């Protein structure tokens, strides 16, 4: 609600002045609107309470009706209605409205009213109402709350629920939800005491879950696991509990135990979404086989209506090259480039490399330091500057110069807006690249070899990482090609043709990014998988010949990509693993 440098106190006072003027003229509706505005700016302002008291004294039971919350209500109106109801002794409805406001914005002190600390009011409100409201509040709070403003704004609820527990000590679920609020507030000892009391009072799956959650926050893994297991014994068909227990074990480096519980859950329901998401992520964490993530992506695509907000695919991909981010280059010349940028060298660079390095890598130097000279040694075998087979789309000439025209300014702007280091996961990257769908193939080919200037704003100072920025742009340009005439059948499509041509073109970073785009297509379109797997296999057959006679700087990256390919054959998988093993050595 706050904009710019607006002072909440001044804004509230302005609204209060307008409210008084409207009240003096007998315009109650406008007075109520401005009072609601003042509440939104500063709910604790003394004059807010004073004016609300005046309205209640003069209009009694009709006061809450001045604050209509039907439909999509303004939050100030919701809280003002709660204050009016509270002043009239209608605390149950007032309490629920305050919780609604706090769930919307937990940082505002909506609940700082005197009656929230009254034990008699906490006793008078039915515990079921308190439970439902506190559950809603708990879902809106971080776990734990670290924001001082949120912690302060939540304090009245902790006082209220403490009084409610004292008054309704027989109600286990209420005591359990009190422990949840206390745990989020950082009062772990109190949370443990309440959760233990809840289980003793009413041993159910829910109260055991509250106790398990406290032990988990206290990093008492064995005690938390025992509580989870008791919860499962109470409700063996609640597969979310299995998932939570698996997460607990995985977080504390006990993957075999975690996967045992995933297997137990899947034996009951192999399609339960929480278990599938967590299970596939943990299986990938165990053996780093991308087939688990491909299966997870397929499951998510086939079950789009999940009630849960799953981030397991992104979490699993986050630290993985070509899954969660665009990997950096490894060429000698770009290593030197990084040193030159770091040392703020002013002027051209002259260097000699003993073997072939990709045109994009050399372009990164000559573009960053104009006038630079890079010479490379001989390349035994087939000339890596030339395509591996007859292709229509070529972006480099045999002497390593751009073979296509520069992109339009529209394309440059689109790539600057879209390109980012983080991919999220392959399906997410595919979706993000849809913003490039309107660009022509000529433009997308142009940005591959005519470096786009990095944006001046953003989270990453791209001018410090010129080589990586070029790779990022090339990656998103190739992903953009996947959206070119996307209604064409894959096998005969222009998007397939151009990406396959680039894959078999000059040995370059573009080879990597084109292959990544093809593999991304296979992740999102199962009908393309056999074809893409064959393309990857064929490209690796050509890689074997070059790899046998000279260093191939892009080989480790291509190997990682091969292992991400759906339905890749065993021979290619084995060769890719050998390349990576040699690289690691």
Which pLDDT does position 324 carry in this prediction?
98
Phi, psi for residue 129 in degrees, rounded to 5:
-65, -45
CATH superfamily of 8-303: Tetratricopeptide repeat domain (1.25.40.10)
224 three-state secondary structure:
helix
What is the band of 542 on the pLDDT scale with cuts at 50, 70, 90?
A: very high
The whole-number pLDDT of residue 112 equals: 96
Instruction: Determine contact, residues 260/240, Cβ cutoff 8 Å.
Output: no
| Largest Cα span, the chain | 96
DSSP state of 25: T
Listed residue (541, 534, 577) closest to 559, CA to CA: 577
What integer pLDDT is reported at residue 202 of this predicted model? Answer: 97
Mean pLDDT of 116-143: 97
Nearest to 34 by CA among 72, 63, 66: 66
What is the sign, positive or negative, of the torsion defined by CA atoms of 456, 458, 464, 465?
A: negative
**Helix (H/G/I), strand (E/B), else coil: 202:** coil
pLDDT in tens, 452-467: 999 988 789 999 999 9
**How confident is the model over 77-103, as a mean pLDDT?**
97
Q: What is the pLDDT of residues 469-484, one digit of tens each?
A: 999 999 999 999 999 9
- Please state whether beta strands 350-353 and 373-376 pair in parallel, antiparallel, or not at all (unpaired): parallel
State pTM to two decimals: 0.88
Q: Encode pLDDT of 9-52 as tens digits.
A: 999 999 999 999 999 999 999 999 999 999 999 999 999 999 99
Contact 440, 468 (CB under 8 A): no
Q: What is the pLDDT of residues 264-292, one digit of tens each?
A: 999 999 999 999 999 999 999 999 999 99
Distance CA 61, CA 287 (A): 66
Measured CA to CA, the distance from residue 23 to residue 513 in angstroms comes to 67
pLDDT above 70: residue 4: no
Q: Which of 106, 110, 113 is nearest to 86 (CA)?
A: 113
Q: What is the pLDDT of residue 583?
A: 84
Handedness of CA 238, 242, 248, 250 (dihedral sign): negative
> What are the boundaries of each domain within the chain?
8-303, 332-584
Provide the pLDDT confidence category of residue 309 given band limits of 50, 70 and 90.
low
71 pLDDT more than 90: no
Phi, psi of 469 (to 5 degrees): -60, -40
How far apart are alpha carbons 410 and 390 in whole angstroms?
Answer: 31
CA distance 85 to 95: 9
Dist CA 298 CA 305 (whole Å): 14
Hey, which residues does 402 pair with through a beta bridge? Answer: 396
Nearest to 384 by CA among 373, 399, 395: 399
Residue % of the chain over a pLDDT of 90: 93
Return the pLDDT at 1.
45
Answer whether residue 67 shows pLDDT above 50. Answer: yes
pLDDT, position 307: 58
Q: pLDDT for 554-581, tens place per residue?
A: 999 999 999 999 999 999 999 999 999 9
Segment 389-417 mean pLDDT:
96
Query: Is the model's pLDDT at 3 over the cut of 50?
Result: no
Residue pair 127/175 in contact (Cβ under 8 Å)? The answer is no
pLDDT, average across residues 444-448: 98
- For residue 423, the SS3 value is coil
Please, which pLDDT band fits residue 2 given cuts at 50, 70 and 90?
very low
State residue 128 phi and psi, 5-degree precision: -65, -35
Asked if residue 5 has pLDDT above 60, the reply is no
Query: Burial of 148 by CB count in 10 Å (0-12 exposed, 13-18 middle, 19+ buried)?
Result: exposed
450 secondary structure, DSSP code: S
**When comparing pLDDT for 4 and 583, which is higher?**
583
Long-range contacts of 25-33 (CB under 8 A, 24+ apart): 28/59, 28/66, 29/66, 31/55, 31/66, 32/66, 32/67, 32/80, 33/77
Cα separation, 276 vs 287, whole angstroms: 17
CA end-to-end span of the chain? 56
User: Is pLDDT of 6 > 90?
Assistant: no
| pLDDT tens column, 360-381 | 999 999 999 999 999 988 889 8
pLDDT grade, residue 308 (50/70/90)?
A: low
How buried is 305 (Cβ within 10 angstroms: 0-12 exposed, 13-18 middle, 19+ buried)?
exposed
- What would the two tokens of residue 475 be? 């990656």
Q: What is the pLDDT of residues 428-439, one digit of tens each?
A: 999 999 999 999
Say if residue 585's pLDDT is above 60.
Answer: no
The mean of the pLDDT values for the chain is: 95
pLDDT tens for residues 510-522? 999 999 999 999 9
Q: What is the pLDDT of residues 401-414, one digit of tens each?
A: 999 999 999 999 99
Q: How far is CA 292 from CA 5, 295, 439, 565, in A?
A: 49, 5, 34, 12
């Amino acid at each position: 609600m706050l904009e710019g440098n607006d002072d909440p106190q001044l804004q509230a006072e302005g609204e209060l002045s307008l409210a008084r003027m409207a009240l003096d003229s007998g315009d109650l509706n406008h007075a109520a609107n401005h009072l609601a505005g003042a509440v939104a700016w500063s709910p604790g302002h003394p004059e807010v309470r004073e004016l609300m008291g005046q309205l209640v004294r003069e209009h009694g039971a009709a006061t809450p009706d001045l604050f209509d919350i039907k439909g999509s209500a303004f939050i100030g109106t919701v809280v003002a209605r709660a204050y009016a109801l509270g002043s009239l002794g209608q605390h149950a409805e007032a309490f629920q409205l305050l919780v609604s406001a706090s769930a919307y914005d937990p940082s505002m002190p909506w609940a700082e009213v005197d009656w929230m600390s009254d034990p008699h009011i906490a006793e008078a409100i039915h515990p079921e109402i308190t439970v439902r409201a506190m559950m809603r509040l708990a879902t809106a709070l971080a776990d734990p709350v670290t924001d001082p403003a949120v912690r302060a704004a939540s304090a009245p609820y902790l006082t209220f629920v403490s009084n409610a527990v004292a008054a309704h000590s027989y109600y286990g679920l209420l005591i359990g939800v009190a422990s949840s609020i206390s745990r989020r507030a950082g009062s772990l000892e109190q949370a443990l005491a309440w959760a233990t009391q809840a289980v003793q009072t009413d041993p159910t799956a829910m109260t055991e879950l509250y106790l398990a959650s406290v032990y988990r926050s206290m990093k008492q893994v064995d005690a938390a696991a025992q509580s989870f297991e008791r919860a499962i014994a109470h409700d063996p068909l609640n597969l979310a509990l299995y998932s939570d227990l698996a997460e607990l074990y995985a977080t504390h480096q006990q993957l075999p135990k975690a996967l045992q519980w995933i297997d137990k859950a899947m034996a009951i329901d192999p399609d339960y979404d929480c278990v599938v998401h967590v299970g596939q992520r943990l299986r990938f964490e165990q053996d780093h086989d991308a087939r688990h993530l491909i299966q997870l992506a397929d499951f998510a695509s086939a079950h789009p209506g999940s009630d849960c907000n799953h981030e397991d695919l992104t979490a699993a991909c986050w630290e993985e090259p070509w899954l969660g981010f665009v990997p950096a280059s490894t060429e000698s010349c770009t290593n030197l480039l990084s040193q030159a940028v770091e040392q703020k060298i002013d002027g051209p660079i002259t260097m000699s490399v003993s073997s072939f390095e990709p045109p994009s890598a050399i372009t990164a130097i000559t573009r960053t330091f104009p006038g630079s000279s890079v010479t490379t040694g001989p390349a035994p075998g087939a000339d890596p500057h030339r395509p591996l087979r007859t292709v229509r789309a070529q972006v480099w000439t045999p002497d390593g110069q751009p073979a296509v025209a520069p992109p339009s300014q529209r394309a440059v702007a689109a790539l600057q807006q879209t390109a980012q280091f983080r991919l999220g996961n392959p399906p997410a990257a595919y979706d993000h690249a849809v913003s490039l769908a309107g660009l022509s193939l000529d433009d997308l080919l142009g940005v591959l070899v005519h470096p786009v200037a990095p944006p001046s704003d953003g989270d990453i100072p791209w001018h410090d990482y010129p080589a990586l920025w070029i790779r990022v742009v090339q990656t998103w340009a190739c992903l953009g090609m996947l959206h070119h005439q996307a209604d064409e059948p894959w096998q005969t499509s222009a998007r397939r043709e151009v990406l396959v041509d680039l894959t078999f073109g000059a040995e370059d970073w573009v080879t990597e990014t084109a292959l990544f785009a093809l593999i991304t297509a296979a992740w999102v379109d199962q009908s393309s998988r056999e074809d893409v797997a064959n393309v990857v296999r064929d490209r690796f057959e050509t890689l074997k010949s070059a790899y046998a006679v000279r260093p191939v700087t892009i080989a480790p990256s291509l190997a990682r990509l091969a292992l991400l390919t759906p339905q890749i054959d065993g021979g290619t998988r084995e060769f890719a693993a050998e390349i990576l093993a040699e690289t690691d050595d």
